[in-house]
Structure 1
Amino acid sequence: MSVGTGYGFCVVGECAPGALTAALAQCLGVRAADVEVAGEEYDPQTRNWQAAVSCDCAAADGEVSWVLDVYVSERVPAPPGSRDLARGLAAALGRVVVCEARPYQSGACWVAVPDGRTVRGRLYDPGDVAGRTGFVMDALESPLPQFPDARTDFIYEAVSLGRGWDFSQALRGLSSALRSWCPEGRLELRGSLATDAYDRFSDIDLRWTVPGERFAAAVAGAGECLGRVRPLLTARSDPEFHGAPDRRLLTYFFRDLPLFWRLDLEVRAASPSAGAIPAGCDWPPAVGALANAVGAVKAVRRGRDAETVRGLVERGLARVGAGEPASGRWAEDLVRLADAAERVDPGARALALRVRELVTAELT
C-alpha cells in the first residue's frame, strides 16, 4: 500500500489559512484546491479527507506562533525533504519556519528564514526553560532577530550521524578554547558540517571572526590556544592569504583525533586590523606530502575516480622527490610516500606513522 509523507513545522508570526494554503500549493506543485488547511475547530463531517495535501494548524504559546502537522499523500510526486519544504514555506510565507533536524534528538531543529538561509537551533517543547514558558528557542548557531533570547552556540548534538563517529566532542572542545581566548569573537561552521552534507571523512571547518584589534593576536595565538585542549601534530598557514590584511586560513592536525578531522580555521577581522600580522608558514614539503596522502585515503574511501586519487598520490610523491609514478595499488603507493616523507624530514616521523596506520586501517 502506498504511504504518504508527514512533516512537522512551527511558524513564527501570523499565518492566515489562505496564505498557508497558497504556500503549500506552491511548494508542493499542486493546485490550491488540492490543499486543505484545518484549524483546531475543524468539523470532521465536512473535512476533505481525500485532499492531496492536508495541514492541521494549531496556535502555540512561547516563541513560535503556530504548529503545523502536514501530510502529503502519495498522489504528490517526489515530495521534498523536511528542510527543503521548510525553506520553501519560509520564502512563500515571509515567516520563519522551524522543522525537526532528523534523526537527532534533544530538540535539534533547522530554522528556515525567508531569505533562503537555514540555521540549526534547539527548540524545546512547551515548558518552563530559564524563566520562559511555551515553546523556547534555547540556542541558535547564528543569531536571528525573531529569537532575541536564544544563546548563540553550535548545536553539538546535531553535528553527528550516530553511525559510529561523532564530531560533537571534538568541536565542543575546540570551539570552547577559541571562545575563551577571544569572547568578543564569533564562530561559525563552514563547509559540510554547516550543511549536513558531511561524512566521517569530513574536515572540521570553522570561521572565527574577531575584532580588528585582536586579529594579529588571534592569528599568532590560535595554535597555542587549541593545543591546550587537543595536542597539535602539525600546523599550517595557507600562503594564499599571507598578503591579506584581514584573513588567514590556518590548518591543524591533532594527535588524538582522526587525521580526517583536521581543523581548517578561517580567521577574519571584523574591522580594520591593528598591529603586525604574523606572516605564518606553509607546511614543510614532507608534511604537505603526508597531507596529500590523507586526502588520497579519503578519496578512495569516498569512491572517487582513479585519476583523482592518482593525482593526490603523485603530487605527494613529487613533494618529497620520489618521482616514480603511482602504481594504482593505493595502499602500497601511500606507504611508499609516507616512508619517503620520513626519510626527507625526520621531523615528520610522527605524522608519517599516523599515515601508515591510517592506510592499514582504511585500505588493507
Structure 2
Amino acid sequence: MSYRPSRSTARIATSVMIVATILGLSGPAFAAGIGISVGAPESVAVGQQVEVKAVLSEDGVPVEGAEVALTYKATLGGKTDRVEIASATTDETGTAVMVYEQRANDNGEMQIVYLGPGTDPVDPFEFTIAVEKGGVQLYHSESGVKIPFVNGTLVILVIATVWVFISLSAVLLARVGKAGIVEDEASAESGSMWIGALLAFAAIFTAVGMVIVFVRAPLANTDLSHPGEYETHIDEYDRTELAHVGDLDPYVGFGLKDESAAQTGDPVEDGKVLSFEYACAACHAPSGLGGVVGPALIGEIGSFNNFVEEVRDGPKGMPAYSEATLSDADLQKIYDFLEAGR
C-alpha cells in the first residue's frame, strides 16, 4: 500500500519551512560576513581608564547580541600568548563598550576578537594604543610596621649625628698623631701626623660618601609619581611591567610540555625532549651517561621490553611510571634516544 501526501500536507510542510527561515533570519547574527570597526584613543597614560568601542555590522546592518573581547599580546614564563583584558556584548546599535585600566607601559598589538554566537571565523580587528611617558605610580612599597615620629627626616638626623661623632674622632686622631709624644725615662720622641691624617681622611671620605649614596640613590629614592620633575628620574627604568590577565592559562613550563616539541618525526630528537619532560635527565644526566643519583643508561638498558619493565616497576628508589603517565610510544622514543648514544 503506497502513501501519497495530500495537498494540505504539502502546504503545511512549506509553511513550516518558511517560518523556520524567517526565524533564522530574525535570530542572532552568525559569524559569516561580519565586519568590525573600532573607536579608541590614539594614546593613553598609565593609570588612565581607557574606553574602547567596537561596532559590528553585517551587510550594513548592526549585529546585536554578539560577544567580543579586547586582547593584547603578553609574555610570561617564556610563553607568549594573547591576554583578554575586557569583553562586552553588542547592543541594538551593534556597539560594544569595553573599559580597562592602563597598567602596562607598552600595549603592543591589540585586537578586537569575535567570540560568538556562531562558529565561522571572523577576522579580528588589529590596532594599537600608544602609552605616553609618565603617568601615575600604581604601586607603592610600604613598611609592615609604622612607628610614630620615625620618618625619613629623623633617620637622616640620626645618621648625620653618628657621622659628626665619627668626624670629631677622626680630627682628634689627627691631633694625637701630630702632637703625640712617647715618653720614656731617658728620652722623648715627637710622633708623626701621617697615621692620624690618613685615618681622618678615610673616616671623612666614608661618611660623606655614604650620605651621598643614601640621598642620591636613583633607583631607591626616585619619585615615580612625578616623573620628569627631578634629576633622579630615569626614563629607562620607569616601572616594572606587569601582565594582568582575565583568564588564567595553564602553566606548561618552558616549552618542555608542548606536545609538538616531541612530535618532530625524528624519534631520537623526540626522545631527548621527552627525557627532559619526564625528568629522566635530572637523575641520569642529559646525555644518559649517569649523574649523581642515577646510573648510566647508555649501553645498560638492554632490550626495549626490559627497558619498559624497569620503567614501570621503578627499581632502586626510581619513581614508577604507569602507562597512563608515560605511554609505550613515548618510551620507544626515549629508548631510541638512549640507543643512539651508544
Give the TM-score normalised by the residue count of structure 1: 0.22
Structure with larger RCO (C-alpha < 8 A, sep 6+) = 2
Greater strand share, structure number: 1
Larger radius of gyration: 2
TM-score, normalised by the number of residues in structure 2: 0.23
